[in-house]
Amino acid sequence: FVKVGTRSSQLWKDLLEKAKVAVVPGIAFTDPDDYIGEHFIRVTVSVRRDLLERSLNRIGKFIERFSQVAVLR
């Protein structure tokens, strides 16, 4: 697990727009008053292996770049 420093409710939008990967913010699976879900995203693994690997690589590259930008701020 990697700490990115942003809420999942923003991260899913960034991943969709910039990495072209759809994920679900963890907050969608928790009580609205419980913000624990803001620290996680969910991905589906019910796709072809090559598509899953490509998507996970895109997420990894995005997180790497995003984390470096966050450190520089």
- The pTM score is 0.76
Count structural domains, the chain.
1
Give the per-residue pLDDT at 44. 81
- Is 29 part of any domain? yes
- Is 30 part of any domain? yes
- Is 18 part of any domain? yes
Around Cβ 1, how many Cβ atoms within 10 Å?
A: 5
Cross-strand bridge partners of residue 46: none
Tokens representing residue 47 in the block = 């796709």
- Is 44 part of any domain? yes
Q: What is the pLDDT along the chain (73 residues), one digit of tens a residue?
A: 666 778 888 999 999 999 999 999 988 888 878 778 888 888 888 889 999 999 999 999 998 888 765 544 4
Contact 62, 14 (CB under 8 A): yes
The whole-angstrom separation of Cα 33 and Cα 64 is 30
Tokens representing residue 55 in the block = 């998507």
- Is 22 part of any domain? yes
Give the per-residue pLDDT at 68. 65
- Boundaries of domain holding 16: 8-72
Around Cβ 61, how many Cβ atoms within 10 Å?
A: 12
Nearest by Cα to 14 from 69, 51, 72: 69
- Is 49 part of any domain? yes
Give the per-residue pLDDT at 31. 84
